[in-house]
């Protein structure tokens, strides 16, 4: 018996459960570390393409391996039980996952702010959006099979499948056939601050990365203009608003 097996055989049941959970944590962290370094070495666009191939290669293997141990069937690389869930449950699951994503984002921000201050937290946040926003657009583009030159119709579709879209209230106002305005009518983060009597969180620096990167990933011809975003003053009907236009 190896030293490893000797060691793990000595831990109690609760500790073993935590080791299992921590293994998932390490997989997620290592996956992200690989993506970050590949993006650093060869550029974000090429890293996104590599990530797509990696995900296709690893997902079904990992799910099948877990299925054999845990005794669940798989179907095309996903748990069969997930496919069997009713539509209402799947929609609720997407919402809960979106809330988890946002909560995770907030916890990271607060941890950095507490340790290093607001300035560093905002810089980290804004830089994260330079990676996450194009990644989310890239994934939605693939899921919806949107063309590279899908223009404003493709962007409208993609904005409706962002994680934000499942937990915030947003709307689109047509300007003409080359422009539309996107409004975030109710933002979960800003609404929570408002209920607590706090001022708007000044998220414009992040938005100036988030929205242009998202739109240009959907179609590089799309231009993004900020109409207003905190700390800018804004009307009661929206927290931030963005204008998207396309030439040609």
Instruction: Give the per-residue pLDDT at 190.
Output: 95
| DSSP H/E element including 223 | strand 222-228
What is the rounded distance in angstroms from the CA atom of residue 96 to the CA atom of residue 91? 9
- Indicate if 73 and 149 belong to the same structural domain: no
Residue 126: which of 215, 202, 233 has the closest Cα?
A: 202
Residue 170 lies in a domain: yes
Determine contact, residues 102/189, Cβ cutoff 8 Å. Answer: yes
User: Looking at the 3D structure of the chain, how many domains does it have?
Assistant: 2
Residue 124 lies in a domain: no
- Indicate if 3 and 80 belong to the same structural domain: yes
- Indicate if 25 and 78 belong to the same structural domain: yes
- Indicate if 151 and 232 belong to the same structural domain: yes
Residue 100 lies in a domain: no
Among 84, 99, 121, where does a domain finish?
A: 84
Using alpha carbons, list the distances in angstroms from residue 212 to 42, 98, 133, 230. 21, 21, 9, 17
Q: What angle, 0 to 180 degrees and rounded to 10, lies between the N-to-C axes of helices 13-42 and 44-70?
A: 160
Residue 246 lies in a domain: yes
What is the rounded distance in angstroms from the CA atom of residue 163 to the CA atom of residue 157? 13
Asked if the peptide bond before residue 72 counts as cis, ω within 30 degrees of 0, the response is: no
- Indicate if 137 and 66 belong to the same structural domain: no
> Which pLDDT tens digit goes with each residue over 55-104?
999 999 999 999 999 999 999 889 999 999 999 999 999 999 999 999 99
- Indicate if 142 and 239 belong to the same structural domain: yes
Residue 180 lies in a domain: yes
Residue 63 lies in a domain: yes
What is the rounded distance in angstroms from the CA atom of residue 175 to the CA atom of residue 125? 31
When pLDDT is cut at 50, 70 and 90, the band that residue 5 belongs to is low
Question: What are φ and ψ of residue 236, in 5° steps?
Answer: -65, -25
Residue 115 lies in a domain: no
Instruction: Give the per-residue pLDDT at 46.
Output: 97
- Indicate if 80 and 178 belong to the same structural domain: no
Instruction: Give the per-residue pLDDT at 10.
Output: 85
Q: What angle, 0 to 180 degrees and rounded to 10, lies between the N-to-C axes of helices 151-159 and 118-144?
A: 110
> Which pLDDT tens digit goes with each residue over 108-128?
999 999 999 999 999 999 999
Determine contact, residues 148/219, Cβ cutoff 8 Å. Answer: yes
- Indicate if 188 and 242 belong to the same structural domain: yes
Residue 48 CA, distance from chain mean position:
14
Domain holding 228, by residue range, is 129-248
- Indicate if 77 and 134 belong to the same structural domain: no
- Indicate if 169 and 235 belong to the same structural domain: yes
- Indicate if 54 and 146 belong to the same structural domain: no
When pLDDT is cut at 50, 70 and 90, the band that residue 1 belongs to is very low
When pLDDT is cut at 50, 70 and 90, the band that residue 4 belongs to is low
Among 29, 62, 84, where does a domain finish?
A: 84
- Indicate if 160 and 64 belong to the same structural domain: no
Residue 56 lies in a domain: yes
Among 84, 117, 141, where does a domain finish?
A: 84
Place of tokens 């669940």: 72
């Amino acid at each position: 018996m190896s030293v490893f097996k000797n060691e793990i055989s000595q831990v109690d049941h609760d500790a073993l459960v935590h080791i299992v959970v921590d293994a998932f944590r390490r997989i997620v962290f290592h996956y992200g570390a690989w993506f970050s370094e590949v993006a650093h070495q060869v550029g974000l666009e090429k890293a996104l393409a590599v990530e797509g191939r990696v995900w296709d290669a690893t997902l079904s293997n990992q799910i099948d391996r877990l299925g054999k141990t845990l005794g669940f069937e798989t179907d095309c690389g996903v748990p069969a039980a997930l496919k069997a869930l009713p539509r209402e449950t799947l929609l609720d699951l997407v919402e809960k996952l979106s809330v988890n994503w946002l909560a995770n984002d907030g916890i990271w921000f607060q941890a950095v702010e507490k340790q290093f201050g607001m300035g560093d937290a905002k810089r980290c946040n804004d830089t994260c959006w330079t990676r996450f926003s194009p990644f989310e657009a890239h994934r939605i583009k693939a899921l919806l099979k949107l063309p590279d030159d899908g223009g404003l119709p493709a962007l409208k579709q993609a904005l409706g499948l962002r994680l934000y879209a499942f937990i915030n209230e947003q709307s689109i106002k047509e300007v003409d056939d080359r422009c539309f305005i996107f409004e975030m009518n109710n933002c979960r983060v800003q609404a929570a601050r408002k209920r607590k009597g706090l001022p708007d969180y000044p998220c414009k620096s992040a938005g100036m990365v988030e929205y242009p990167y998202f739109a240009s990933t959907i179609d590089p011809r799309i231009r993004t203009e900020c109409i207003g975003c905190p700390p800018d003053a804004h009307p009661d009907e929206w927290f931030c608003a963005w204008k998207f236009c396309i030439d040609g």
